[in-house]
Amino acid sequence: MRARLLFVGDIHLGRAPARIPPALEDYGITARSCGPAAAWEHTVRHAVREVPDAVVLAGDVVESDNARFEAYRHLARGVEQLVAAGIAVCGVTGNHDVEALPRLARAVDAFRLLGAHGTWSTHTITRDGHPLLRIAGWSFPRRVHPDRLPLDTFPAAGDVPVIGVAHCDLDAAESPYAPVSRHALARTGAAGWFLGHVHSPDLVPGPQPIGYLGSLVGLDPTEAGRRGPWWVEVGEDGRITRLEHLPLAPLRWEAIDVAVDADLDPDDLLDFLGKAVRERATALGAEELAEVRVLGVRIRLAGRVRAHRRLATQLAELTREPLVIPLGERAAFLDRVVDDTAPAVELGALAEGGDPLALLVRDLLALEARDERGVELIRAAAGRFQAVANRPQFAPCGTGWHPDDEAIRTLLLRAGRRALESLLAQRAAPKGSQA
Ligand SMILES: [Mn+2]
């Protein structure tokens, strides 16, 4: 084998993961203790145990150039531990750490900053003085870089194979963050490309892996699924022979879709949600969760429920405070429960006539069927949403709100079903037959 490497994506040391409930403190867990610093510690510990030829950082290692001193100290200490274990450490800057990472390189002698000033440079893995593999990196020279990643100067493979590392925006030509196409990266002839910037990991094993390493730990509920560094092995033929995503993050986010039975009793909701979380933990398995201290879960409930109205009330009641669910030596919490359930009524029968209920039902059916009328409703709503989002008082919020058609459809269905139930309840009130 030519080389064993550990690649690390966006760490963002100095940022605390969002939405960690204070109630977890009873389990000894805080946003800080399960965040980037802890994920970095797990990564360093793993590397010291396995002793790869190099640990390679793909940028956005620290959250910002003026990140608290503590973030910088965590980073420097980890690098020193790696170097003391005989492991080379190199990396490139991302858009978040254009100054902080070069500062680290000046302070910690053994840390090799690759691609300073936007010019490619390489770290060479050697054995008995012979070069075996080069890691070629490019660093963000400034916080934004609307020009393409400069591949025309990429140091292509010569005597030994090359692996590329950069912080960049794949297949997003208009991006201000060093845009580059996957195709252009493939043409460099590198054995693989390991990238920072986008926080969803998307590398897959193959003859020439190219993709994002992802965040080292999920920084908010949208960063769901496995998180951690990537173990990479390069064979004698210069090809990548092993590519493995190691689940070393102490915090893991999961998004779960749960189909609800029509007979669900809202009084059993707490047990029902707890069961869904425990089932997910079991499905993930002990190995996948070995390093996970806390599991943050979003649940989406779907299906038709007879006691739908009571379910909605119960849900609002239950989720006022985040629910913490003990899971052996770790804890899970419900970050949010999204209620996409619908009342168990036969809509077709209610669609006749010209009363408000029938009009509403016809719109709901149109949205469900995504027919011409449904599309028209989505278009109309999109215009209304946009008008609100464009109001000047929302300008400080930044890039604006641009929901896609499917998101608008979901919002309309949710609101429409709620209105439907209110109308049904009013109609049925004298008989008291509605849940
Ligand atoms: Mn990042």
What average pLDDT score do residues 47-68 get? 92
pLDDT digits 0-9 by tens, 212-227: 999 999 999 999 999 9
Backbone Cα Rg of the chain? 26
Out of 117-121, 262-266, 282-286, 344-348, pick the least confident: 344-348
C-alpha 196 to ligand 1 mean position (Å): 7
pLDDT given for residue 435 in this prediction: 46
Angle among Cα 59, 64, 68 to the nearest 5 degrees reads 125
pLDDT given for residue 434 in this prediction: 45
C-alpha 217 to ligand 1 mean position (Å): 11
The predicted model scores a pTM of 0.88
pLDDT band at 134 (very low <50, low <70, confident <90, very high): very high
C-alpha 377 to ligand 1 mean position (Å): 37
C-alpha 368 to ligand 1 mean position (Å): 37
Range(s) within the chain of domains with CATH label 3.60.21.10: 3-245
pLDDT given for residue 358 in this prediction: 95
C-alpha 269 to ligand 1 mean position (Å): 37
| Model confidence at 343: pLDDT above 50 | yes
pLDDT given for residue 432 in this prediction: 47
C-alpha 108 to ligand 1 mean position (Å): 23
pLDDT band at 180 (very low <50, low <70, confident <90, very high): very high
C-alpha 111 to ligand 1 mean position (Å): 20
What average pLDDT score do residues 372-400 get? 85
pLDDT given for residue 188 in this prediction: 97
C-alpha 64 to ligand 1 mean position (Å): 10
The closest alpha carbon to 118, from 83, 82, 145, belongs to: 145
C-alpha 199 to ligand 1 mean position (Å): 6
pLDDT given for residue 400 in this prediction: 66
| Model confidence at 206: pLDDT above 90 | yes
C-alpha 197 to ligand 1 mean position (Å): 5
Pairing of strands 54-57, 179-180: unpaired
C-alpha 144 to ligand 1 mean position (Å): 13
* Dihedral sign computed on CA atoms, order 165, 169, 171, 176: negative
pLDDT digits 0-9 by tens, 257-309: 999 999 999 999 999 999 999 999 999 999 999 999 999 999 999 999 999 88
C-alpha 9 to ligand 1 mean position (Å): 8
C-alpha 168 to ligand 1 mean position (Å): 10
| Model confidence at 340: pLDDT above 50 | yes
The architecture that CATH gives domain 3-245 is 4-Layer Sandwich (3.60)
pLDDT band at 398 (very low <50, low <70, confident <90, very high): low
Calpha distance 143→98 (Å, rounded): 6
Higher per-residue confidence, 170 vs 398: 170
pLDDT given for residue 283 in this prediction: 97
| Model confidence at 433: pLDDT above 60 | no
Proportion of the chain above pLDDT 90, given as a percent = 78
The closest alpha carbon to 10, from 48, 62, 66, belongs to: 62
Proportion of the chain above pLDDT 70, given as a percent = 97
Burial track 309-344 (b if 16+ CB lie within 10 A, e otherwise): bbbbebbeeebeebbbbebeebbbbbbebebebbbe
